[in-house]
Every structure is written in C-alpha cells, then in structure tokens.
C-alpha cells in the first residue's frame, strides 16, 4: 500500500518531489486520517501531535521505527519524567485534557504517521527562548555553554544593556562595540540593524540585541557563516543526525563597510540575492553567495598550506584572514558539540517520547577569525528552496537522506519505502548519534557517552556530554557551585533543569510575545 503525505501549502516543493520519486501519493482530502506524513513550515496542533504519536502505539503496527531505541537499550531504564509540575503536564492522548479536543484514532491500515516538528522546539528555535534557555544551561555548565555572543532581550533587559554599553571604555569612537538588533520572532534577516550607540536602538516589538562578532572568518574578504542541517529522529533517547554537507553563506559586499550596508554584514541569502554583486564573479568566492562545506574544507586546507608556506591568500593582498590555520575536523567536532548541547534544551523541555515527531533543524554557526564557532540561531524550517547549483547539490542529497533515515515503510512493518537509494555518497555523510550506530562515525565521543545517552537518566547523559565536550576543548567538567546557580542546581541533584514557561509551541504560528513599548 503506497505511503501518503498530506498536501500542505507550506510544504517545500523539494519534499513533494522526493516523496513522489519514492512512490508516495498525496493523501485524499476526503479522508482526513489517511496520511503517513505532514510536512509544513508552521507548528502543529496538539491533536495532530497526538494523532501521530498514537499511531506508534497500535499493537503490531509501526512499533519499530528509526526513532525507537535499539533493543538492548529499550530493555534498560528510560529517562525519568521530571521537572514539570503535574498541572502543567502536556496532554497525553486520551487524557481528556481540554487542550486535546480530538481523541486520536488508531492508525488503522495507514501505518505510522509522522509530523515534521517536535512540540516545544520553539525552546531553541525562537531567538528569545533560545537565549533564556541557554542562560539556564549556562548556570549549571558555564564553561560549556559559552558559544553564544553576549545578548540582551528588550524591553526587559534594557538597563542591563545600557550598563554593558557604559562599561566599555573605548579610547576612540570607532572602538565602541557594535550591537546587532534582531526582532525576537523573525527570520531571513528581516528587521535587523547594527548600531554602536545604544541610543540608536529603536524597537516596537520584542528585540534581541547581541554583541556583533566583528572578526568573522573572511574568505576573499567576504563575511561567511554556516548552515548546518541536523535531523532529530527521537528526543528520548536523543537521536541526532548531523549532515556532513551544508552551506557556507556569504555577504556579497566586502566586509568592513558602513553599518548600514547589510550586504557586507549579513549573510542571509534572502538578502544577498538582491545585491548587484550577486551575479558577479567575486574574489575567491565566485558568483552568487553560497558554497557547500566541501568547498570550505578545500579552501581551509589550502589556506592552511599557504599560511605554513608564508604565502598570501590567492588574489588577496594583504590576506583577508591571516589566522586561518584551524583544521576542519576540529572545527566540525566543535560544531557537533554545539549541536548536542543545544538539543539538550529540547530533551529537557519535552517530557514525553513524541514518537510521531521528527525535525530537520538548520543551525546557523558563525566561525570567527580564530576558528571558534558561535551559535547564531536555530531554524525550525530551514529554507529548502533551490536558488543555485550549490543549493541543488546540497539540498537534494539532504532531503533524500532524510527520508532514507526516517525509514517510513519499515515503521509500517515492511522494509524500504520503494525508493532506490540514489545518493549513496551522502548516506555516508549523515551520522546518527544513536547508541547502536556510533561504530563508524567520525564523531567519536568516549564510550560512556554512547551508552549513557540511551540507557541512563538525563542527568547522566548531560554529564557525559559535558565530559565529551570537555575532552575536545581540554577543559574540566563539573557542575557549577557558585551561589547564583547553587539553589536550582541543588534542587535538581546538582544539575539545573530547563523548562520553557511560554507554552506557545502548540499554536500553528507559535505564540507571539506581547508588544513592547516604542522607545
């Protein structure tokens, strides 16, 4: 029986194309239950999550899935349910909660159903929620969670921002820090501006104001950042697939121009495709505004060789990034560390397995001139449109691989979903961090990491991630013992837990914060 996807306006064309190639059919609108997948940009209703989850609990149907822990792990202790007071528990199927009005029906003969988001993913994908949750994590693991630039939320933290501004002691006007101001609930560079003076900040909606990283990795004199694609197939236990290929996104005007020049300072392709330089063959980076990660790796290796040999970067005088000597594999390990640590926020926010969910996240990572990766944001619906040849190369392989990993037909009880694996090369580039699949991966955390991640409590998993990350960085891992974090850490047995107070992920558009005063 063919698998069926529910046609959604916001479902990217590439998803429909790949599904059709694999023999999927569009679900019949007259039968609202006969679907196996809904892929949409916006969030889902609680009833939709419940319907998808329920399809995994029908006896004999779909009890095996890629998000099911391996058999040896399943027989062991599951992560405990904790943290959230009973009255705030999210509705469980059939619990009679007012918020879940539609009682989920068994999946019947359609097999398992999945939706492409997790409830609560807004805890990492909304700029203000991400910041708040990172701070909570940092209160327990300060040394691990230092990968986001200094950030303030306005209007609530206006005074702290003013204090930070006053504390800087520049000898010259242009040595003052630059701040980047972003609407809290926006994307694609919309509404972003840069300032040196706090008095220049205006806002009529909640705003995130962040220290601007002024020394980014420059390639050919152009600013760059990375889009890393991460597929999460299970949260309890956490199963993560980080795709080895992703995008390098460039500004299209040389870096270092006036703050109002967004083509120089922002790397969003939704902005740079409107630059008059977009189609021009630019120094080193060429036409357009994107590379894939393979091109970055080749360039870094070449830059390394040139640095060792004392040669300037091709066509660039003086070299745009004189300190480019970092090695790609180390960089990649640090990025993986950021991905896992950030996803632990989601693990701690979701207290049920959500078997009917998976999510493809887009992590935006900016590498500075010293090779340190910084997390800029996490996108819950990374753009999947095809603007150029690089997009096609990266996204076609990505989406095919996503469906290879999801193994829909196997979840319905039959191997394969009828699609030939046309992209064997990319298959080897995706690597799950599930315990049974760690064997041949490039990311080689200590053994304890793999074991405890599936079989132990969230506390222990957290400690093991910390140990693994510390090994990469050569730091020591220990929960914070200072006064500020002491109370909450003690209450949680030495670790601080994160909850997302604003329960807004269950709305289609996600909740919007109240309007802020205009200053």
In the complex with ligand ADP, which residue's Cβ is closer, 15 or 266?
266
The first and second tokens of residue 325, run together, are 């000597």
In the complex with ligand ADP, which residue's Cβ is closer, 16 or 196?
196
**Cα separation, 295 vs 282, whole angstroms:** 15
The first and second tokens of residue 127, run together, are 């700029």
Tokens 């979701």 belong to 350
- Pick from 340, 373, 362: which is nearest to 441 by CA? 340
In the complex with ligand ADP, which residue's Cβ is closer, 234 or 380?
380
Least distance to ligand ADP from the beta carbon of 223, Å? 6
Residue 189 sits at the vertex; the CA angle it makes with 186 and 190, to the nearest 5 degrees, is 60
Least distance to ligand ADP from the beta carbon of 228, Å? 12
In the complex with ligand ADP, which residue's Cβ is closer, 377 or 506?
377
- Specify the long-range contacts of residues 142-145, CB closer than 8 Å, at least 24 apart: 142/480, 143/470, 143/475, 143/476, 143/477, 144/341, 144/466, 144/469, 144/470, 144/477, 145/341
Q: Give CA separation, 404 vs 104, 113, 401, 418, in Å.
A: 27, 16, 5, 11
Phi, psi for 343 (deg, rounded to 5): -70, -20
Tokens 């600013």 belong to 223
Least distance to ligand ADP from the beta carbon of 271, Å? 8
- Pick from 448, 471, 240: which is nearest to 336 by CA? 240
In the complex with ligand ADP, which residue's Cβ is closer, 77 or 188?
188
**Cα separation, 128 vs 145, whole angstroms:** 16
Least distance to ligand ADP from the beta carbon of 153, Å? 14
In the complex with ligand ADP, which residue's Cβ is closer, 181 or 242?
181
In the complex with ligand ADP, which residue's Cβ is closer, 175 or 487?
175
Least distance to ligand ADP from the beta carbon of 512, Å? 15
Least distance to ligand ADP from the beta carbon of 266, Å? 4
**Cα separation, 160 vs 162, whole angstroms:** 5
CB 52 within 8 A of CB 357: yes
**Cα separation, 459 vs 491, whole angstroms:** 13
Q: Which residues bind ligand ADP (CB under 6 A)?
A: 149, 180, 182, 186-190, 192, 210, 212-213, 225, 266-268, 364, 366, 376-377
Least distance to ligand ADP from the beta carbon of 227, Å? 9
**Cα separation, 390 vs 396, whole angstroms:** 10
Least distance to ligand ADP from the beta carbon of 206, Å? 14
Least distance to ligand ADP from the beta carbon of 230, Å? 15
Least distance to ligand ADP from the beta carbon of 134, Å? 13
In the complex with ligand ADP, which residue's Cβ is closer, 6 or 182?
182
3-state secondary structure 291-328: EEHHHHHHHHHHHHHHHHHCCCCCCCCCCCCCCCCCCH
Q: Give CA separation, 415 vs 127, 232, 410, 443, in Å.
A: 40, 21, 5, 28
In the complex with ligand ADP, which residue's Cβ is closer, 390 or 463?
390
In the complex with ligand ADP, which residue's Cβ is closer, 77 or 190?
190
């Amino acid at each position: 029986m063919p698998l069926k996807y529910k046609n959604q306006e916001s479902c990217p064309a590439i998803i429909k194309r790949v599904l059709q190639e694999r023999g999927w059919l569009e679900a019949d609108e007259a039968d609202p239950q006969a679907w196996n997948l809904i892929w949409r940009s916006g969030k889902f209703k609680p009833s939709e999550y419940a319907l998808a989850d329920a399809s995994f609990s029908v006896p004999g149907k779909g009890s095996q899935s890629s998000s099911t822990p391996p058999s040896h792990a399943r027989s062991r202790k599951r992560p405990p349910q904790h943290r959230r007071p009973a009255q705030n528990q999210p509705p469980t199927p059939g619990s009679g909660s007012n918020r879940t009005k539609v009682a989920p029906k068994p999946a019947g003969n359609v097999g398992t159903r999945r939706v492409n988001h997790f409830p609560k993913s807004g805890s990492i994908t909304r700029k203000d929620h991400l910041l708040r949750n990172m701070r909570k994590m940092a209160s327990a693991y300060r040394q691990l969670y230092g990968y986001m630039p200094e950030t303030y939320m306005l209007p609530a933290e206006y005074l702290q921002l003013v204090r930070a501004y006053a504390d800087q002691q520049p000898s010259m006007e242009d040595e003052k820090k630059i701040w980047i101001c972003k609407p809290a609930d926006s994307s694609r560079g919309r509404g972003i501006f840069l300032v040196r003076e706090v008095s220049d900040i205006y806002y009529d909606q909640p705003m995130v104001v962040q220290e601007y990283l002024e020394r980014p990795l420059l390639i050919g004199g152009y600013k760059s950042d990375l889009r890393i694609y991460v597929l999460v197939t299970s949260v309890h236990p956490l199963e993560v697939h980080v795709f080895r290929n992703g995008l390098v996104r460039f500004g299209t005007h040389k870096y270092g121009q006036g703050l109002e020049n967004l083509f120089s300072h922002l790397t969003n392709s939704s902005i740079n495709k409107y630059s008059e330089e977009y189609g021009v063959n630019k120094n080193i980076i060429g036409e357009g505004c994107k590379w894939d990660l393979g091109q970055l790796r080749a360039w870094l290796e070449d830059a390394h060789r040139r640095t060792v040999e004392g040669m300037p970067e091709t066509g660039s005088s003086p070299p745009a990034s004189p300190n480019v000597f970092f090695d790609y594999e180390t960089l990649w390990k640090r990025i993986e560390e950021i991905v896992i640590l950030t996803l632990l926020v989601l693990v701690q926010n979701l207290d049920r397995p959500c078997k009917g969910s998976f999510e493809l996240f887009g992590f935006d990572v900016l590498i500075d001139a010293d090779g340190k990766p910084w997390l800029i944001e996490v996108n819950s619906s990374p753009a999947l449109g095809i603007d150029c040849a690089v997009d096609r190369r990266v996204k076609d392989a990505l989406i095919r691989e996503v469906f290879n990993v999801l193994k829909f037909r196997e979840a319905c009880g039959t191997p394969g979903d009828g699609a030939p694996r046309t992209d064997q090369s990319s298959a080897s580039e995706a690597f799950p961090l599930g315990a049974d699949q760690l064997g041949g991966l490039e990311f080689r955390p200590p053994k304890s990491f793999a074991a405890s991640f599936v079989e132990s409590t969230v506390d222990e998993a957290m400690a093991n991630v910390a140990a693994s990350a510390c090994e990469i960085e050569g730091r020591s891992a220990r929960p914070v013992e200072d006064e500020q974090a002491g109370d909450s850490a003690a209450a949680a047995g030495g670790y601080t837990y994160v909850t997302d107070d604003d329960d807004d992920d269950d709305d289609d558009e996600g909740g919007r914060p109240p309007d802020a005063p205009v200053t």
